[in-house]
Copies of this chain bind each other. A is one copy, B any other.
Amino acid sequence: MPPSLADLTPTQARLLREQTIELPSWAFGNSGTRFKVFTTPGAPRDPFEKIDDAAQVHKYTGITPRVSLHIPWDSVDDFARLREHAAERGIELGTINSNVFQDDDYKFGSLTNSDEAVRRKAVDAHLRCIDVMDRTGSTTLKVWLGDGTNYPGQDSIAARQDRLADSLGRIYGALGEDQRLLLEYKFFEPAFYHTDVPDWGTALAHVSALGERAVVCLDTGHHAPGTNIEFIVVQLLRAGRLGAFDFNSRFYADDDLVVGAADPFQLFRIMHEIVSSGALEATSGVNFMLDQCHNLEQKIPGEILSALNVQEATAKALLVDRAALDAAQRSHDVIGANQVLMDAYSTDVRPLLRELRESQGLDPDPLAAFARSGYLARAEAERVGGAQASWGA
């Protein structure tokens, strides 16, 4: 018999009920590859419609009450109105993501550029993000840079690090006391010889230099092949600097597939380390976000599925028999310890989660319920005229 809600301890049940996953506004717009961005009927045309779509995900899953904004993609004249629009739909505005990679000026770098005028422009773009945070109530500024070089010799790797440190210092200094800076690393792309923040070590070095309110964002798709991501989770938690996840998945180089789609076992192992260290508690300061695009699949269902995949991995991680695991580990029972973990992973938690949703007044099957709702057909019919929002705008 698969486990039911009644089989959970109060803490397990509470953690499942309290878990939240932040949605990216850009997941609802058109997206694609350098080869082609396919258009989707009914795609939102402005930040308000993106919020509407995000609210659908929350309506059916019950665990996605926040939306990340990307500035300037999601810039509006009146953020108070956007915040209110969101609140009316049960949504909070979350992390503010800066964008300093889509202006011709940033061709050779933003926060690392040797041209002081460009560097100042990039810093100013972040200061404007902090203004947005003040107006939206967001407490987190996420910095991901496209900075890097394509060719050996193109620029000085060392000098760029110094300029980066200086730029980040100026941004950090402008944060309010309740605001924090989240620095994201990425192994490659859009720069191909070197990126200026390629790995967790570099991100950690910079946030450590900045101060206590600077933390690292771990994007699950931003590592070299074969990297043990759960090990990095442990290291960043050990250093007290794991600020957030950007969840997604990939088979090879792209980092935009639905989280858990490529390697559900890896997602489970990551959540196992999170649960083991207590970082699932809302007070831990670790924010669970999605950072994905949906190039081929429908976007709202894509986000619903992503949230469900994280929730399933979390439920399985909570089911790990930690006492048995510890005992097997201490006796060096390799297969025994592995099987304690696999017992939880092999468990079908979908009945349990259906039960959880019903206990919260939700439909047990979010994808089916959304499909039945006719929302997509209405959006296609109503969202006529105007320019569709896309990943790049």
Contact = CB atoms under 8 A, between A and B. Distances in A.
A8 to B, nearest CB: 17
Interface in A194-231: 194, 198-202, 204-205, 223-228, 230-231
Interface string A333-352: 01101111110011110100
Given A152-B341, A161-B234, A335 B205 contact: no
Contact of A201 (B187, B204, B262): B204
A234 B155 CA distance: 13
Interface residues of A, number: 104
B254 A329 contact: no
Interface string A27-64: 00000111110110000000000000000000000000
A235 interface: yes
A108 interface: yes
Contacts of A348: 2, 346-348
Given A234-B157, A329-B156, A335-B302, A251 B192 contact: yes
A374 B328 CA distance: 19
A226 B252 contact: yes
A342 to B, nearest CB: 7
A273 B392 CA distance: 35
Given A33-B189, A346-B348, 12 more contacts: A34-B391, A36-B101, A115-B332, A151-B338, A153-B329, A153-B337, A153-B342, A158-B238, A187-B226, A199-B200, A224-B225, A298-B334
Interface of A: 1-2, 32-36, 38-39, 101-102, 104, 106-108, 114-115, 146, 149-158, 161, 187-190, 192-194, 198-202, 204-205, 223-228, 230-232, 234-235, 237-239, 250-254, 256-258, 261-265, 269, 273, 276-277, 295-298, 301-302, 305, 312, 325-326, 328-330, 332, 334-335, 337-342, 345-348, 350, 367, 391-392
